[in-house]
Amino acid sequence: MLSAFTARPIIELKPRDKSRIECILAYGDRVLVGLNTGSLRVYRVNDLSPSPSPANPSDSQSPEASQSSVNPDPSSSTQDPSSQPDSQPVVPQQKPTDLLREIERFSPRAIEQLAIIKEANTLVSLSNYCVSLHDLHTFEPIASPLPRTKNASGFAVTSNIVKDPATGIPEIISRLAVSVKRRLLLWSWHESELEEEVKEVVLTESIRSMTWACATRLVCGMNSGFVVVDVETGTVEDILGPPGGAAGGNQGRWGAVSAGGMGYMGLGGYMPKPLCTKLADGQLLLAKDVNTLFIDDTGKALEKRQIPWQAAPDGIGYSYPYILALQPPAKGCLEVRNPDTLSLLQTLSLPGAAALHFPPPTVSLAHAGKGFHVLSDRVVWKMDATDYDSQVEELVRGGKLDEAISVLTMLEDALLKNKTETLREVKMQKAEVLFRQKKYRESMDLFNEDEVNAPPERVLRLFPKSIAGELSGVEEEKQGQSQQSDSEQEGSSNGTATADQQQQERPKTPDVAEVSSTPKTGGFARYLMRTRTLNPETASIASSKKGSDDDATSIKGKPIDEQAQSEKDLMSAVLELNSYLAGARARLQRVLDPVTGKLKPRGTNTQTDEAFKALLLSNPHLQGADDAQLEAHLQHTFRVIDTSLFRAYMFSRPTLASSLFRIPNFCDPAVVNERLIEQNRFHELVDFFYGKKLHREALNLLKRFGACEEPDPLCPTLHGPQRTVLYLQGLPASMVDVILEFSEWTLRKDPDLGMEVFLADSENAETLPRERVMRFLGGIDIGLEVRYLEHVIGELGDANPEFHNRLVELFIKQLSTMEKGEKWEGTMERLVRFLRESKQYSLGRARGLIPKDDPAFYEAQAVVLSNMGQHRQALMIYVFKMKNYGKAEEYCNRIHKTLESPPQPSGMPISNHSISSPSPSAPSSPPASTLNQPISPSSENRRRETHNLPHPPLPLPFPSRPRSLPPFVSSPVPPLQTWLPPARNPLPLLSHPRHTTCV
């Protein structure tokens, strides 16, 4: 039980005094006591030094302790100064209160109720069914009785600061509500002046209780239920329970209870008084009999369950932050409950206690009036609240973690030494308890709350070494228990271990589950079975029964079942651990960049600043650390989280391990390498190496499985160069050494696939050093070098002359060593096309490289000569060497189309481009008309263009006869006009900027 309050008697009537206490009023250091005789006594409360708290807080909960505290001897009201170590010289004992004054004729009848209106310096009293006003200092009557208050049954007072709607200036307004049967009378004080207007509201039945909900609304309790009265407008609204809610679902719970049902032996019906008290945050508690309802200050019901009272209380109240209920005087006890959980936290025995008195509701802070009073007809007790930190500590020590969390949540930060840290610690303790109760999800969710942000070391301590590594706290326990069981078995085998010795070897506070657990259960199972509770009365029987059936148990295989259950529990726990580690990782990423391992800049992002603030609040030891220390701590924490997350994935969901490696992580490479190799998960190991930039290790692993002749049974999917090629394509150009080193075996294994490393359409492939790659590929195969150069020049548009010259050289070298065939012809076509299209290679060098006497290279020679502007030599090759007149015609047409200047009328005679047989022994060509006929395309447009142009007389194509020509060649050649068709005129000569050519 909790020691939230301690009762201290401050006023006790002497035995010879026949008066009875009817009511009290406490304000400041004064206590006014109204007696049944109509007298009013004024006491002054002395400021006494607090007595030392008892050594055992539970002692204050026992009836004997409570009895001694409320009925002390005269000498027990103060501590003996000599008993204190720092005692001063002995002084006379001081009474808790001093009687200052007694007004005997204050009222002709018993004083039933007292209140003050401090701003008006007025004392309000209820006596003889009338309400009276007196001066608070002189106690002289102001209005005795107050008009229209005859037959009054009660009143309620409130004071509030309200802004004037006209001026907006705040002012203090006090109100007095008096119940006279069905009528509700209202007086108001503005500042300290009583207004003459008296408002009146008539209800449906007699008013039995009143409580101010706010400055303008009053809750009135009647036999039929409760209503809310707006004192400004006079409107009345019934208070109904929430439909289908915890309070009962209809107004019947608040309806009148039949007199016949509550009557006894015809002596008249008893109707329980409706009770109401104001709580914090604008809430109110209504009670009638054992039924309760929580409402807000507007009268709307709240979704809360009812307080489980065993009997109807005589009075209820609220003292921050607890709900109080006073049981009937016959029981004489005060119950203290948590308004959040409604649990009973403390029960104080106060013999004869009949009423509760709380400070006037005029204070601005909810906790400022935490002290209250309880009175009987002879004694007044002052209820002192204990220190809130002590209360929380006591709840935690008693295992009431939910209550401790609830109390910490309700209390204000200023009332505790370190509310944030204390609440965080209690929540972590609760999460550990939930974990031992096998409520893994609730436990991890609590660990993962932003306000808790439990350190991973503390969470991982709950798991075995296979998950937590060196941070595990279960493995050590298992080892200690195994050693203990071994020693016990050895002692029992020697016959020297007695029951007393075994009892001494047990822990000081053993659980029943530990006594009844089998010694063969694993450490994690033992850890989880700590909270298994058995009936204490049958625990010994179960233990003895188990001890007698050890042999049968081993035969039946019960430890195997428990081990299977332990593994199942561990799997469930690890699955929930994954969510915690993922959440912790996300929080760390808000302050630490996982790519660079550096702290994120502060002051530029609001979310980052809030994350830093939350981190420092959850780790007080880091608040004075500099950035370097903070960065090192976060990197260590990140490493612990990622490594544990990897272990958890490998235990519960191995397929998820690769997803962790594809993102920047801080996993320990040694742990990952060892665990993945144990389970033959080489794909994930490659992904991990790639993420950690351990590329050489990854490529060595891929080469081990890919370069072998037959697939390795350990990982057949990595056989071949495919995986290595994909890996190399993902490396940047800065890793060119590694790329060239490990691409060699892929090129030798599968050249087409291996070349994808250098020919892929990616930034990495395009930014590789091309000259180095060219030399590397040439060292393996010139065909690979040719493919690479064609890709670089043709697709990437590299204009480096060295590459163009090298490609020409490689083409010629490749053709010279290649057997003629379809492949050879394709290569030759590529060479000719390259020679024709490229403008970057050296013409002289290319001409020197091309074999001049090899007929296969005639066309290549002609292309080079054409690019050099030697069209005569090029045409001679087409006509006399290749005897391919179609290509000659195509060549002439192509040259004509490329001419930039228009034709000139006075061109150079075509005799300048006359061609003759290259050698006397060469066979003669057909008539030149076969060369000149298709010079112009067979279109009428060309003829129209050239028809009207003037032409000089054309000389013979061959003005001089070569020596040693055959007879049919030595004959005169007819003019060119005779070779052309009749309707076709000879074409003019076209001039070129560099040379003259025929078309």
Query: Is pLDDT larger for residue 907 or for residue 689?
Result: 689
| Alpha carbon distance 401, 395 (integer Å) | 7
pLDDT at 999: 34
Once rounded to an integer, what is the mean pLDDT over residues 196-217? 93
Token pair, residue 578, equals 């994954």
Query: Is pLDDT larger for residue 257 or for residue 842?
Result: 842
| DSSP states along 479-540 | HHHHHHHHHHHHHHHHT---HHHHHHHS-SS--HHHHTS-TTS-HHHHHHGGG----HHHHH
| Alpha carbon distance 754, 726 (integer Å) | 10
Once rounded to an integer, what is the mean pLDDT over residues 424-441? 94
- Which residues, in sequence order, are CB contacts of 329 under 8 Å at separation 6+? 314, 352, 353, 354, 376
Once rounded to an integer, what is the mean pLDDT over residues 55-68? 37
- How far, CA to CA in Å, does 812 sit from each of 153, 783, 807, 808, 847? 123, 12, 9, 6, 11
pLDDT band at 261 (very low <50, low <70, confident <90, very high): very low
| Alpha carbon distance 420, 849 (integer Å) | 86
- DSSP bridge pairs for 159: 174
> What angle is formed at CA 277 by the lines to CA 248 and CA 379, rounded to 5 degrees?
125
Query: Is pLDDT larger for residue 612 or for residue 221?
Result: 221
pLDDT band at 443 (very low <50, low <70, confident <90, very high): very high
pLDDT at 933: 44
Position 182 pLDDT exceeds 90: yes
| Alpha carbon distance 567, 524 (integer Å) | 8
44-48, 49-53, 458-462, 928-932: range with lowest mean pLDDT: 928-932
- Which residues, in sequence order, are CB contacts of 837 under 8 Å at separation 6+? none
Largest CA distance in the chain: 173
Query: Is pLDDT larger for residue 37 or for residue 604?
Result: 37
356-365, 864-873, 883-892: range with lowest mean pLDDT: 356-365
Across the chain, mean pLDDT equals 78
pLDDT, tens digit, 9 for 90 and up, residues 946-977: 444 444 444 444 444 444 434 433 344 444 33
Specify the DSSP element, H or E, that contains 288.
Answer: strand 283-288
CA dihedral 583, 587, 590, 593 (to 10 degrees): -80
pLDDT at 380: 95
Position 235 pLDDT exceeds 60: yes
| Alpha carbon distance 253, 239 (integer Å) | 11
pLDDT band at 86 (very low <50, low <70, confident <90, very high): very low
Task: Using a pLDDT cut of 90, give the percent of the chain over it.
Answer: 44
All domains of the chain, ordered by start, with CATH? 387-454 (1.25.40), 467-473+566-573+582-683 (no CATH), 693-767 (no CATH)
pLDDT at 101: 93
Query: What phi and psi values does residue 581 have, to the nearest 5 degrees?
Result: -65, -35
pLDDT at 785: 92
pLDDT at 221: 95
pLDDT at 332: 85
The region, left, alpha or beta by phi > 0 then psi within -120 to 50, assigned to residue 399 is: left
- Which residues, in sequence order, are CB contacts of 994 under 8 Å at separation 6+? 869
| Alpha carbon distance 564, 572 (integer Å) | 13
Task: Using a pLDDT cut of 70, give the percent of the chain over it.
Answer: 72
Q: Is the CB of residue 648 less than 8 Å from the CB of residue 654?
A: no
pLDDT at 10: 94
pLDDT at 944: 40
pLDDT band at 260 (very low <50, low <70, confident <90, very high): very low
Q: Rounded to two decimals, what is the model's pTM?
A: 0.68
pLDDT band at 855 (very low <50, low <70, confident <90, very high): confident
CA dihedral 802, 805, 811, 813 (to 10 degrees): -90
Once rounded to an integer, what is the mean pLDDT over residues 140-164? 91
Once rounded to an integer, what is the mean pLDDT over residues 405-416? 92
| Alpha carbon distance 813, 849 (integer Å) | 9
pLDDT at 560: 67
pLDDT at 464: 92
Position 631 pLDDT exceeds 60: yes
Position 688 pLDDT exceeds 50: yes
Once rounded to an integer, what is the mean pLDDT over residues 110-129? 93
Query: Is pLDDT larger for residue 42 or for residue 65?
Result: 42
pLDDT, tens digit, 9 for 90 and up, residues 482-524: 445 444 444 444 444 333 443 343 334 333 333 333 334 444 4
pLDDT band at 869 (very low <50, low <70, confident <90, very high): confident
pLDDT at 97: 93
| Alpha carbon distance 500, 477 (integer Å) | 23
pLDDT at 820: 87
pLDDT band at 144 (very low <50, low <70, confident <90, very high): confident
pLDDT at 998: 39
pLDDT at 629: 87
| Alpha carbon distance 176, 104 (integer Å) | 26
| DSSP states along 927-994 | PTHHHHGGGS-S-HHHHHHHHTS--PPP--SS-SPPTT--HHHHSPPPPGGGGS-TT-PPPPPEE-SS
pLDDT, tens digit, 9 for 90 and up, residues 124-135: 999 999 999 999
Q: Is the CB of residue 243 less than 8 Å from the CB of residue 250?
A: yes
104-113, 182-191, 468-477, 793-802: range with lowest mean pLDDT: 468-477
Sheet containing strand 315-319, edge to edge, reads 315-319, 322-326, 333-337, 344-349
The region, left, alpha or beta by phi > 0 then psi within -120 to 50, assigned to residue 190 is: beta
pLDDT at 249: 42
Position 743 pLDDT exceeds 90: yes
pLDDT, tens digit, 9 for 90 and up, residues 533-546: 444 333 433 444 44
Q: Is the CB of residue 397 less than 8 Å from the CB of residue 389?
A: no
Query: Is pLDDT larger for residue 814 or for residue 246?
Result: 814
- DSSP bridge pairs for 6: 384
